[in-house]
Amino acid sequence: MKIVAIVVALGGFALAAFLLVYGIKAGIIEKHILADHAGNYDTGRQAVVRGVFYVILGFLVLGGSILTLAAIIAQG
């Protein structure tokens, strides 16, 4: 069961890294971020808002992954 929790936590780290990098690079720096699955893009202010949302979401996922690993370590 610990192995499953560790794999989930590592998956959370990967997802957090993607959200943080994509939010910062595409949304905040380039100001050109994918808006929907049809291939439409937000640009300018809308892209920055979406990028900040992805960064916040990335930090939340990262925090959850850290808490998961901390719980695993505390039990071990």
Residue 52 has a pLDDT of 97
pLDDT tens, residue by residue, 18-63: 999 999 999 999 999 999 999 899 999 999 999 999 999 999 999 9
Domain count, the chain: 1
Residue 50 has a pLDDT of 96
Predicted confidence (pLDDT) at residue 68 exceeds the cutoff of 90? yes
Query: Which range marks the domain in which residue 60 is found?
Result: 2-75
Residue 1 has a pLDDT of 82
CB 49 within 8 A of CB 10: no
Q: At what angle do helices 2-22 and 45-75 cross, to 10 degrees?
A: 160
CB 27 within 8 A of CB 4: no
